[in-house]
Amino acid sequence: MNLDEFVRQVKLFEIYQTLLKPNQKEVLALYLEKNFSISEIAQIKNTSRQAIFKTITNSLRNIEELESLLGFLKKQNIFFNNYKSIEQCLNELLKIIEKEDNLLLKNDLLNNISKLQKTINKMKEEV
């Protein structure tokens, strides 16, 4: 498993963990968040490595299926990409406004940009 795949699994787990069975949630938390090996988890859960492997495999398949049905990670990624684009545009506008000579116009534009930034940050926190 490469790093991108692992990061995707962690993100999917963060999103969909509440929809897993308690045992699946516990095992995946140990595996993905605590970075325990299959052997360590088997020892903690007092079961076989094969049973833990099967639980991990089934749980990962479940969260992938949930993502394909609901698409929350995909939507989250789209939002963050849009957020970055908007943030870049706002930063460019700020550079342009700094050169503006009309103080009333400058202050008005800065106030509006500040409101936009607050709204975007609030949206980011909610995601």
Residue 17: half-sphere exposure toward Cβ, Cα within 13 Å: 16
Give the pLDDT mean for 51-79: 93
Q: How many helices (H) and strands (E) does the chain have?
A: 6, 0
Asked whether 41 and 54 are in contact (CB, 8 A), the reply is no
3-70 CATH: 1.10.10.10
Question: 86-101, pLDDT tens digit by residue?
Answer: 888 888 888 888 887 8
The model carries a pTM of: 0.68
Round to whole Å and give the CA distance between 18 and 20: 6
Determine the pLDDT at residue 45. Answer: 96
3-state secondary structure of 35: coil
What's residue 62's pLDDT? Answer: 96
User: Could you state, in order of their start, the residue ranges of all structural domains in the chain?
Assistant: 3-70, 74-126
Q: Mention every residue, 6+ apart, whose C-beta is less than 8 A from residue 9.
A: 32, 60, 63
Checking if the pLDDT of 127 tops 70, the result is no
Say yes or no to pLDDT of 32 above 70. Answer: yes
Are 55 and 27 in contact, with CB atoms under 8 Å apart? yes
